[in-house]
């Protein structure tokens, strides 16, 4: 047995000597003069020369070359075809990262964060980062990434994956990674999580620190925060930026509206008529208005239908505008009027936005407008705002004429806000029948506004009482 083993060793030694001779001839044939020339030769060609030896002894090609040319410091990742199994050896992985650092002249380890994945892959022999297909599962997987390689090479450095130009794939899926990142953000923002400071953070804040991907794993920002603080009781409506997806849910919309009503001290149906845009803005609930044409009134009517609200009592800017709506409702019927209507054909040629009509009666192609003080006097407006109002008024008239729409203007100081002057003005634009006028007065007498008019003008007491 000893003789057989000794004979085998001699054979291997002889084969090796023959292979070395062939390799020398190969070297001359390919005109290989320096180490860089070896990297240009396809590995398959070198392997053919070494095949006889490999049948007897399984040794990586680069390892064999190192033995033959001990003065050459062969870098396996620089070959045109990487030797099989090179990256399975830890020493090779560490050597590559250290070589890369020297090549890129990186002095501070934090400079690795600036490196782009594709630059390393294609410009710096980074085949170790290549995605490979798993033959069994038939899926594409990346065995190594930069952060795992850097942690292996420099284990004492505190690596933060989110600071890389491109965070490793699937790193955000790990809850532990999310928590680590969130702690970092809190520290940077100097947030005390045990106080209301926690409500200052949003998906936007996380994005600013490189955590934009987190928003893809949670329906809303509140869901993310609950995951970070499962034991803490949080008021979701205190978050000024809770996320767009939150406001798309009608259940959340209704809950938010009732929360707002509670904050405003609303206790009965009539309290809701006083709600204003500013009330939503103060609690950062402006996203709640978006699905409802930015109208507080429409928002309340749609989300609280059981109250059977009178929509004409919402969203008015002055007493006379409110009266105009009530009179229009009495004359044309509540179902036949639309308030704060933005018609597609009323798109401004200056701003590209749709201009608004206070009241729109589609059946008659008739628009009613109350032109308050700010349409004639600058008042508290800036000069630019006042000029925009004047420009929009002219644009409305132009568009109305172009689309054969009648606009009835009730002007500040010229209209006294009384029902008979309302009827008189309307009658100039569309002839009213006796029946329409009678129906108007019957409806008006039942309207809540009737009591206000009685207080303002005692003559109505004699007429109706």
pLDDT tens, position by position, 353-393: 999 999 999 999 999 999 988 888 877 778 888 899 999 99
pLDDT, the chain, mean: 82
Q: How far is CA 125 from the centre of its chain?
A: 36
- Pair 412, 294 in one domain: no
Question: CA 106 to CA 172: how far, in whole Å?
Answer: 27
Range of the domain at 127: 90-169
- Pair 359, 392 in one domain: yes
pLDDT at 103: 93
Q: Which two tokens stand for residue 125?
A: 């022999």
pLDDT band at 246 (very low <50, low <70, confident <90, very high): confident
Question: CA 431 to CA 423: how far, in whole Å?
Answer: 10
Give 357's strand partners: 341
Domain boundary among 145, 169, 193: 169
In a domain, 203, yes or no: no
* H, E, C per residue of 125-161: CCHHHCCEECCCCCCEECCCCHHHHHHHHCCCCCCCH
- Pair 264, 334 in one domain: no
- Pair 156, 74 in one domain: no
Q: Which two tokens stand for residue 232?
A: 């803490």
Per DSSP, helices labelled H in 69-114 are 90-103
- Pair 390, 434 in one domain: yes
pLDDT at 273: 83
Asked if residues 351 and 387 have their Cβ atoms less than 8 Å apart, the reply is no
- Pair 430, 459 in one domain: yes
- Pair 327, 448 in one domain: yes
pLDDT at 227 over 50: yes
pLDDT band at 58 (very low <50, low <70, confident <90, very high): very low
- Pair 407, 273 in one domain: no
Domain boundary among 20, 52, 84: 84
In a domain, 217, yes or no: no
Domain boundary among 169, 184, 209: 169
- Pair 420, 329 in one domain: yes
pLDDT at 160: 92
In a domain, 180, yes or no: no
In a domain, 106, yes or no: yes
In a domain, 431, yes or no: yes
In a domain, 237, yes or no: no
Go through 78-103 and write b for each residue having 16 or more CB atoms within 10 A of its CB, e for each that does not: bbeebbeebbeeeebbebbbebbbee
Question: CA 465 to CA 453: how far, in whole Å?
Answer: 13
- Pair 339, 459 in one domain: yes
CA geometry: angle at 402 spanning 396 and 404, to 5°?
Answer: 95
Give the global pTM: 0.54
How many domains in the chain? 4
């Amino acid at each position: 047995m000893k003789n057989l083993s000794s004979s085998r060793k001699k054979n291997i030694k002889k084969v090796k000597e023959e292979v070395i001779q062939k390799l020398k001839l190969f070297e001359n044939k390919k005109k290989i003069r320096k180490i860089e020339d070896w990297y240009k030769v396809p590995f398959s060609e070198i392997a053919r020369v070494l095949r006889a030896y490999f049948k007897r002894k399984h040794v990586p090609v680069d390892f064999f070359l190192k033995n033959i040319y001990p003065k050459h410091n062969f870098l396996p990742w620089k070959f045109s075809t990487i030797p099989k199994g090179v990256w399975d050896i830890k020493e090779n992985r560490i050597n590559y990262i250290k070589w890369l650092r020297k090549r890129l002249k990186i002095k501070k380890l934090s400079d690795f964060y600036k490196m782009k994945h594709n630059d390393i892959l294609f410009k710096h022999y980074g085949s170790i980062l290549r995605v490979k297909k798993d033959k069994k599962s038939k899926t594409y997987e990346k065995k190594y990434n930069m952060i795992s390689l850097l942690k292996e090479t420099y284990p004492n450095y505190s690596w933060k994956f989110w600071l890389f130009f491109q965070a490793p794939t699937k790193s955000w899926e790990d809850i532990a990674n999310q928590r680590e990142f969130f702690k970092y953000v809190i520290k940077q923002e100097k947030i005390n999580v045990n106080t209301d400071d926690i409500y200052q953070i949003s998906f936007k804040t996380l994005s600013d620190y490189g955590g934009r991907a987190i928003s893809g794993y949670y329906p809303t920002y509140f869901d993310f925060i609950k995951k970070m603080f499962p034991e803490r009781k949080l008021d979701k409506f205190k978050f000024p930026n809770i996320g767009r997806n939150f406001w798309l849910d009608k259940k959340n919309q209704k809950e938010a509206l009732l929360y707002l009503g509670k904050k405003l001290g609303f206790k009965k149906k009539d309290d809701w008529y006083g709600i204003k845009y500013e009330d939503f803005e103060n609690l950062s609930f402006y996203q709640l208005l978006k699905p409802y044409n930015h109208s507080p009134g429409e928002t309340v009517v749609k989300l609280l239908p059981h109250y059977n609200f009178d929509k004409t009592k919402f969203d008015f800017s002055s007493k006379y505008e409110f009266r105009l709506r009530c009179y229009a409702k009495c004359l044309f019927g509540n179902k036949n009027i639309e308030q704060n209507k933005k018609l597609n054909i009323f798109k401004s040629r200056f701003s590209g936005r749709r201009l608004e009509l206070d009241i729109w009666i589609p059946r008659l192609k008739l628009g009613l407008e109350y032109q308050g003080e700010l349409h004639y006097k600058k008042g508290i407006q800036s000069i630019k705002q006042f000029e925009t109002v004047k420009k929009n008024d002219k644009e409305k008239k132009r568009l109305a004429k172009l689309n054969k729409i009648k606009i009835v203007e009730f002007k500040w100081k010229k209209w006294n806000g009384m029902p008979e002057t309302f009827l008189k003005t309307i009658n100039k634009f569309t002839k009213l029948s006796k029946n329409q006028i009678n129906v108007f007065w019957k409806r008006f007498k039942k309207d809540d506004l009737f009591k206000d008019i009685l207080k303002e003008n005692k003559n109505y007491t004699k007429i109706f009482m």
